[in-house]
Amino acid sequence: MTSTMPNDRNEERRRRVLLGPLPAGFLRADGTTDNVDADYQAALALQQQLCGGSVPAAGPPLTARLSITIAQAKLVKNYGLTRMDPYVRLRVGHCIYETHTDPSGGKTPRWNKVIHCLLPPGVNSIYLEIFDECSFTMDELIAWAHINIPQAVLNGETHEDWYPLNGKQGDGLEGMINLVLSYSVGPAAVATFPPVLVVPSTGMGYAAMPMYAAPHMPPQQPQMQQPPQPQQPPITAEQLQQIEEMFPSIDKEVIKSVLEANRGNKDATINSLLQMSE
């Protein structure tokens, strides 16, 4: 009796087993493939959105880089007790950068500062402010501007222009600032001008503190390993002098920054400067 009961149980189990091919929805929550397809389509759409509408081929990730030369400004009024000491604070996306201070720059400050920064996806404008650096009081905001990046720049052209400034005198009536913009996309890492950290102050406005240096001083590079930079052909003094003689009305620092933005290509630099001087 005891020897036959295990066999009876096995036969009963065999009769309950489902034989044949498994259904397509086996082990899925709802027995369909819709969930898997929906997840795949959502992941594909997210990847396309992050990559600008297309799935990139295999290879190193591309980086959008924006070079901004803050050349000079012409202001309509001196707000300082003697002469103003202006500097520029620039915001690109969520990153903030600063130039050095032009001591006694007054209404015609000059910086000739080139800032290389990453351009986040969807960002097509920059915001800048000009401050008068004060020794014993809060730095005073003199002028500001919200500048849309020209489409020609995003198409790869170097663009130089004077942009109107807003301020106490009214919109577009505080003076003008001279910028040179260039844009490129490539796999190489970019050496960025260190951003500054803006923290609320106890007075009116905000106090700026560069992440790697004292306020309004040329920042020092952090002690960390930098990625290898792409090799560029050296720019000779003779080559720079030849271009300067061709364009005597354009500032030498601007010419140098345009030549560097074109990676030392003399013909491309001349074409860019011709467009700037039109």
Give CA separation, 55 vs 37, 171, 173, 187, 188, in Å: 18, 43, 46, 16, 20
The domain segmentation of the chain, as residue ranges, is 63-219, 231-278
Chain-centre distance for alpha carbon 175? 26
The whole-angstrom separation of Cα 175 and Cα 145 is 10
The whole-angstrom separation of Cα 228 and Cα 273 is 30
Tell me the per-residue pLDDT of 5-37, one tens digit each, with 9 for 90 and over: 667 777 776 666 555 566 555 555 554 545 555
Per-residue confidence (pLDDT) for residue 174, from 0 to 100:
94
What fold is seen in the domain 231-278? Helicase, Ruva Protein; domain 3 (1.10.8)
The whole-angstrom separation of Cα 178 and Cα 31 is 64
pLDDT bin (cut points 50, 70, 90) of residue 278 is low
pLDDT bin (cut points 50, 70, 90) of residue 167 is very high
**Does residue 84 register a pLDDT over 80?**
yes
> Taking a C-beta distance cutoff of 8 angstroms, is the pair 143, 175 a contact?
yes
Average pLDDT, stretch 40-47?
A: 61
Q: Which of 49-63, 74-88, 133-147, 254-268 has the lowest mean pLDDT?
A: 49-63
What fold is seen in the domain 63-219? Immunoglobulin-like (2.60.40)
Tell me the per-residue pLDDT of 98-149, one tens digit each, with 9 for 90 and over: 999 999 899 999 999 999 988 888 889 999 999 999 888 889 999 999 999 9
The whole-angstrom separation of Cα 24 and Cα 83 is 80
Average pLDDT, stretch 163-177?
A: 94
**Does residue 48 register a pLDDT over 80?**
no
